[in-house]
Amino acid sequence: MNQLTQKERMLLQDEKAHEEICIQKYGSYAVQVQDQQLRQMFDKHRSDEVQHHQTLTNILGQGGQSAGGQAAGGQAQSGQGSPSGGAAFQWNAANVGQAGQAGVNQDVMLCKDLVVTETFVSGAYDTAIFQVTDPQIRQTLEHIQKDEHQHGADLSGYLKQQGISG
């Protein structure tokens, strides 16, 4: 299962790094949002991203060195609704103050930020899926991609529900 070309390996390592960012963002944003519904969605997505990260780690094998990988994945279990998601990414309400009031507006900001992130990550998965030749790995990546599409749909659905077109 580990017959990866150098290019394939590079693309998967990029995806692994993207998943780390997703884990950090969802963890950090979940404790910042006001809306419980959004918080639950972020927690759910975060646990998906942890699984994606683990899957990529497995594909790349132990030789796929990534400094931040273990730390990001390791926090996974404690992540359910707990504020341990990390403070690496902080949308400071004061910083977005000019855009409007904190609270609801900040929720929308964080949600939109994640739409952008998911769109980027999903695009990168497309590139990897077209590149990878091993049918089993392709299938695994397509499964992850399906999750990313669902994340995007969840986020856009929330924004629509708030009367925002995304």
By the criterion CB under 5 A, which residues form the site for Fe ion? 19, 49, 52, 118, 148, 151
> Please, which residue, 66 or 105, has the CB nearer to Fe ion?
66
Q: Could you please report the per-residue DSSP string of 56-104?
A: HHHHH-TTS--TTHHHHHHGGGGGSS-GGG-SSS---TTTTGGGS-STH
Question: Where does residue 132 fall: left (phi above 0), alpha (psi -120 to 50 degrees), or beta otherwise?
Answer: beta
Q: Cβ of residue 118: shortest distance to Fe ion, in angstroms?
A: 5
Q: Cβ of residue 148: shortest distance to Fe ion, in angstroms?
A: 4
> Please, which residue, 91 or 125, has the CB nearer to Fe ion?
125
> Please, which residue, 4 or 151, has the CB nearer to Fe ion?
151
Q: Cβ of residue 151: shortest distance to Fe ion, in angstroms?
A: 4
Q: Cβ of residue 94: shortest distance to Fe ion, in angstroms?
A: 28
Could you give phi then psi for residue 163, rounded to 5 degrees?
Answer: 80, 20
- 90-118: b (≥16 Cβ within 10 Å) or e: ebeeeeeeeeeebeeebbbbbbeebbebb
> Please, which residue, 49 or 107, has the CB nearer to Fe ion?
49
Q: Cβ of residue 59: shortest distance to Fe ion, in angstroms?
A: 14
> Please, which residue, 4 or 144, has the CB nearer to Fe ion?
144
17 C-beta neighbours (distance < 10 Å), count: 17
